[in-house]
Every structure is written in C-alpha cells, then in structure tokens.
Amino acid sequence: MSGTVGGHGFVPAGATLKVTRDGTGLPDATVRADGSFAIADTRQDEGGYSYEVSCAGDATHRPATTSLKVRVSRIGTTVPYPELSLAAPHKVAFTGTVMTDLSRGPLDQGAPRSG
C-alpha cells in the first residue's frame, strides 16, 4: 500500500509514521521527500484487515491518523489445455500457462500476483 502525506506547502519529509494492522504494530513507514510513503504487509489468510497510519505531528503539522479496510481473497487459477511433457513411473509433468480468474491474465513463472 502507498499513500501521500502533505498539505498546503511543506511536506514533513523524514517523519515517522506509525502503522498498525487490526491494532497490532507493524514496522514504521518514513515519509519521502515528495510526501509519499509505502507499507508492505503480506497476508496469507482471507478476510478483512484494518490498517491505521498515524503521524505524531511536529512544530508545523498537527497529529493525523487515517485508516483503510483491506479485503484479502484468493483468486481462482487454472491451467487451460495443459500439455504432457513427461510420463515415467511415479513421475508426470505437465506444462502450460497458469491463468487467473477475473481476466487478470497469465502469471509469470515464480512471480506472486497481488491485487
């Protein structure tokens, strides 16, 4: 996830942002020179997660807090028209392209897909 901190004029570059997921602390994020920040959090379980980001403020900025609810779900995948590439005792190998539901296209080999 990413976001931007700012207002009219001065951006608090270098400020530390406290981040929580469902009330549990995550690693802090730092505001970049352009006011942007990023948060990385990988969830394996399906469900809804509430994230909160807060800035303590400084001499020119008031404290601020915002939150976002994120829904994580698994996307169905298929291997349409697989080709048999190996058949030996106790071994069978197929080749093909893993496709996702929702028309998201093929997955690159070894690349996780977020969305």
Global pTM reads: 0.62
| Digitized pLDDT (tens) for each residue of the chain, 115 residues in all | 888 887 666 777 888 999 999 999 999 999 898 888 999 888 878 889 999 999 888 787 788 899 999 888 777 777 777 777 778 888 888 777 777 776 555 555 555 544 4
What SS3 string covers the chain? CEEECCCCCCCCCCCEEEEEECCEEEEEEECCCCCEEECCCCCCCCEEEEEEEEECCCCCCCCEEEEEEEEECCCCEECCCCEEEEEECCEEEEECCCEECCCCCECCCCCCCCC
